[in-house]
Amino acid sequence: MIPQRVVSSCRRCIHTKIGNRPRTYDPRFEEMEERVFRTTKTEPKLRTYVWGNARTGALAIPEDNIRSRNKDSPYMKRSPVRLPFCELTDTRFKQTSCGYGFTLFLADKPDEQLNQLFGAGANTDGQIGHHKHPDKPKVAAEYINRPLPISLPFRNRHSRVLEVAAGRAHSIFLTEEGCFSMGNNAYGQCGREINRDEESSHRVSAVTKVSGLPKDVKSVRCGQDNSFFLTTEGKVYSLGWGADGQTGLGHHDMVFTPQLVGGDIASEKIVDLSCAADCVLALSDKGEVFGWGNSEYRQLAIITDHPQISVPVHLPFKLGTIRSVSSGGTVCGLVNESGEVYVWGFGLLGKGPELTDADRPSLLPNSLFAAKEFGEQNPVKTIHCSLVHSAVVTERGDLFMWGSNDSGQIGLGHQKTQYFPLRVPIPSSVRQLSLGVDHNAAICKALI
């Protein structure tokens, strides 16, 4: 146990940096601060950090806390902050997914009494379940500013949620009992029949079990208004909106039942897939990249001049074995086995204000990411692209971001556009990162 004088000194330092305590001070924060500095013999604890736009409640921080600690900007966090909910409840989130103004959290489940699935933020389409309005019990809450549990209709109460994915206004959950969905189903993205005469097509408070999927689904992904399911054999199933060919099914129609995606990936084993909007990139076990969907911003220009592709095609990048791919709104990126980062598309690519479009992958200098710092190798491991901002995470867990910053989503303490990657000050090692439209969440491992 650290001496009390050290704890008190650290506490004074914290309050000096964050300002005065909230007017509606919660005494549980005292317990949280004690827990922060308490030493144990266990492995470093997982921590959850959030930052960016807080107007919809997507950061899962009560409004009083945001106002008291950031008076000049009550509706955003311009730097990453630890999620108070985790510290106050001893909950460890192991995965998070950011949608359009809402966030899903997946927790460890050490015992059957603990809620495992949580949601916060916009709930206008029931994307984080049915929750009553605090002042109007008969009215559903459309905005929630703290993590609330999401219940799934399990047959076995011991069943676990394995992965979560958030789209524009719908959510997909991979569990031991299959895949479930909730939220907006206007394009069939929830896996239920589209009925335009029913209000429930746009608002689905009840959970839907997605039928027609194989039993070996191992991962789920959400695009803007479509959903993807990856199997252990590397097959891809899709459904939802296909206006730009993003379902990869050879047409531009809406689909509400999962269908196997063919094209050039039919004989490949796909291990990862990325789609933030309507362009899709897939990565095979051989380290090769495939793409389909929207190419209006030259995302797929290496093989076609058409603005849309409705079937997966191989993208013949000669950049070595690829280990990570990401497709944003207008920007795409990849990382090869050497840790080199390449970007292409249109917008804030990360190469300064002069380069705003590229129809072929363009290398970002390794020096931007301190790939070799103090003689220690620290190559980039993964890349993440959202609609207007991007990020990379290194092997050591360092986070670098760039792009539009209107809501402080770059995490650098200001709202200025960031034209090249800059390291984000998180005092932990990033293990999992999710980018929303204008907010982000990261699961990190404490350094001590």
Residue whose C-alpha is closest to residue 127's, from 57, 66, 78: 57
Q: How is residue 172 written in tokens?
A: 């997909």
Q: Identify whether 146 is part of a domain.
A: yes
In the sheet with 270-274, reading across from the earlier edge strand, the strands are 270-274, 279-284, 289-294, 308-315
- Listing DSSP states for 306-329 in one string gives SSEEEEEEEE---SS-EEEEEE-S
Is residue 11 a part of any domain in this protein?
A: yes
Give me the percent of the chain exceeding a pLDDT of 70: 82
What tens digit of pLDDT does each residue of 370-396 get? 766 666 789 999 999 999 999 999 999
Given a cut of 50, whether residue 74 has pLDDT beyond it is: yes
Reply yes or no on whether the pLDDT at 344 is more than 60: yes
Per the domain annotation, does 52 fall within a domain? yes
CA distance 77 to 74: 8
Number of Cβ within 10 Å of residue 231's Cβ equals: 18
Structure-token match 């207008």, residue found: 330
Q: For residue 111, what pLDDT is reported?
A: 57
Which tens digits make up the pLDDT trace of 395-413?
A: 999 999 999 999 999 999 9
pLDDT band of residue 198 (cuts 50, 70, 90) is low
Res. 139: pLDDT tops 90: no
Has residue 418 been placed in a domain? no
DSSP states of 191-216: SS---TTSGGGT---S-EEPPS--TT
Range of the domain at 266: 4-312+430-446
CA distance 61 to 340: 36
Residue 182 lies in a domain: yes
Q: What is the mean pLDDT of residues 32-36?
A: 44
Would you say residue 165 has pLDDT above 70? yes
- Look at residue 266 and tell me whether its pLDDT is greater than 90: yes
| 23 or 388: which leads in pLDDT | 388
**pLDDT value at position 133?**
72
Q: Would residue 22 count as lying in a domain?
A: yes
What does the alpha-carbon distance between residue 295 and residue 359 come to, in Å, rounded to a whole number? 10
What is the mean pLDDT of the segment spanning 167-195? 96
Q: How many CA atoms lie within 13 A of 16 on its CB side?
A: 6
| Alpha helix (H) residue ranges in 220-328 | none
Q: Using only the alpha carbons of the chain, give its radius of gyration.
A: 22
Query: How buried is 447 (Cβ within 10 angstroms: 0-12 exposed, 13-18 middle, 19+ buried)?
Result: exposed
Domain assignment of residue 221, yes or no:
yes
346 residue type, one letter: F
**Least reliable range by pLDDT among 9-13, 209-213, 264-268, 435-439:** 9-13
Count: domains in the chain: 1
pLDDT at 366 over 70: yes
Taking the C-alpha atoms of residue 42 and residue 322, their distance in angstroms, rounded to an integer, is 35
CATH number at residue 234: 2.130.10.30
